[in-house]
């Protein structure tokens, strides 16, 4: 594996499968009474979250601790972010403390990539604006791989806010790499101007979910939207939300995914999120296991 994980393109198909296999081993370990392994003993993981995050930060922190690493936290207030020079200064200060792995989330795309140029250790991108969220892509693809045994040839329908989503960019990249068929379904105002030509797009949800093995919802990024994108949440939910009535006639063994946190009644209805098809909570466990596998892969070189 490369020294840094900034986007899915940093990983080959084989490396992804290796992470999955290792992730499965760690997932089993997580079921044991003693869940700690010594792999990262003596290493320091810096968790640099320049933007609020709950589940990703907890997941990385716990993954590092389960592997016996020391962790330090840096959370910047929004106001100090406005002075760009402070990012570099912050990193240089931490660098002087001999950090081995930087886990970085930042609202500006490209910042984790820029950090790789000024530090000695490794950088894992924990989400940079709408650019990439590779570890979310890995855990999503792992969840599908584990459920179906293989990702190749599966039909995946993705609904919700595509334009402002970093998750979708990493998901599209990893699912295409593993040979899945992707269909996006959302309002045209929530679609980017360009999308990989291998990905299908429809405005008709019935069409999108008809052959789907996986139905994935994306969070409406309310905080990133400017005005006049959708009329309101009720209208959005009616046409593009994951609802029982819309997915009633489909095959029986499909799964429903969502990177969380979910907006019940907007991109996904509560009864679907809680149904037997839903793997939303399992995704969280898988996130922990795959992040441990990523740390492991980084230290294996």
Closest by CA to 284, choosing from 20, 10, 59, is 59
Q: What share of the chain is helix, strand, coil (3-state, %, to 5)?
A: 45, 20, 40
User: How far apart are the C-alpha atoms of 225 and 222, rounded to whole Å?
Assistant: 5
User: How far apart are the C-alpha atoms of 132 and 197, rounded to whole Å?
Assistant: 19
Q: Which of 3, 13, 88, 251 binds other proteins (CB under 8 A)?
A: 88
Beta-bridge partners for 47: 73, 103
Minimum gap (Å) between residue 50 Cβ and other proteins: 9
Contact window for other proteins (CB under 8 A) among 16-24, 105-113, 145-153, 200-208: 105-113
Mask: binding to other proteins, 116-155, rule CB under 8 A, as x and -? ------------xxxxx-----------------------
User: Helix/strand/coil (H, E, C) string of 165-217?
Assistant: CHHHHHHHHHHHHCCCEEEEECCHHHCCCCCCCCCEEECCHHHHHCCCCEEEE
Mask: binding to other proteins, 208-227, rule CB under 8 A, as x and -? ------------------x-
Size of the site for other proteins (CB under 8 A): 24
Q: Is 94 in the site for other proteins (CB under 8 A)?
A: no
Q: Which of 108, 202, 203, 285 binds other proteins (CB under 8 A)?
A: 108
Mask: binding to other proteins, 174-213, rule CB under 8 A, as x and -? ------------------xxxx------------------
Which residues have C-beta within 8 Å of that of residue 216, sequence separation ≥ 6?
140, 156, 157, 158, 159, 171, 256, 257, 258
Q: Is 265 in the site for other proteins (CB under 8 A)?
A: no
User: How far apart are the C-alpha atoms of 50 and 107, rounded to whole Å?
Assistant: 7
Minimum gap (Å) between residue 67 Cβ and other proteins: 29
Of the pair 164, 254, the CB lying nearest other proteins is at: 164
Positions in 47-86 near other proteins (CB under 8 A)? 82, 84-85
Of the pair 129, 265, the CB lying nearest other proteins is at: 129
Of the pair 5, 293, the CB lying nearest other proteins is at: 5
- CA angle (41, 47, 53) in 5-degree steps: 135
The contact set with other proteins (CB under 8 A) reads 82, 84-85, 87-88, 106, 108-111, 113-114, 128-132, 166, 169, 192-195, 226
């Amino acid at each position: 594996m490369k020294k840094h994980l900034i986007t899915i393109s940093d990983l080959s198909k084989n490396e992804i499968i290796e992470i999955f296999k290792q992730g499965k081993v760690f997932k089993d370990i997580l079921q044991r009474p003693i869940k700690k392994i010594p792999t990262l003993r003596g290493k320091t993981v810096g968790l640099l979250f320049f933007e609020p995050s709950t589940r990703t930060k907890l997941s990385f922190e716990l993954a590092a601790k389960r592997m016996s690493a020391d962790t330090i936290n840096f959370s910047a207030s929004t106001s100090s972010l406005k002075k760009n020079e402070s990012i570099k200064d912050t990193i240089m200060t931490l660098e002087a403390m001999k950090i081995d792995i930087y886990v970085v989330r930042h609202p500006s795309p490209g910042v984790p990539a820029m950090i790789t140029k000024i530090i000695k250790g490794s950088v894992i991108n924990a989400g940079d604006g709408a650019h990439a969220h590779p570890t979310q892509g890995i855990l999503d693809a792992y969840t599908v791989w584990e459920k179906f045994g293989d990702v190749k040839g599966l039909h995946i329908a993705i609904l919700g806010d595509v334009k402002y989503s970093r998750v979708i960019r990493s998901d599209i990249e990893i699912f295409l790499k593993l040979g899945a068929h992707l269909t996006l379904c959302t309002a045209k105002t929530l679609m980017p101007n360009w999308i990989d030509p291998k990905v299908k797009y429809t405005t008709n949800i019935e069409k999108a979910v008809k052959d789907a093995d996986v139905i994935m919802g994306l969070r409406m990024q309310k905080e990133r939207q400017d005005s006049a994108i959708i009329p309101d949440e009720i209208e959005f939910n009616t046409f593009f939300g994951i609802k029982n009535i819309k997915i009633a006639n489909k095959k029986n063994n499909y799964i429903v995914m969502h990177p969380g946190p979910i907006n019940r009644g907007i991109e996904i209805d509560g009864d679907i999120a809680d149904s037997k098809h839903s793997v939303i909570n399992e995704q969280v466990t898988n996130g922990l296991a795959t992040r441990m596998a990523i740390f492991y892969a980084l230290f294996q070189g």
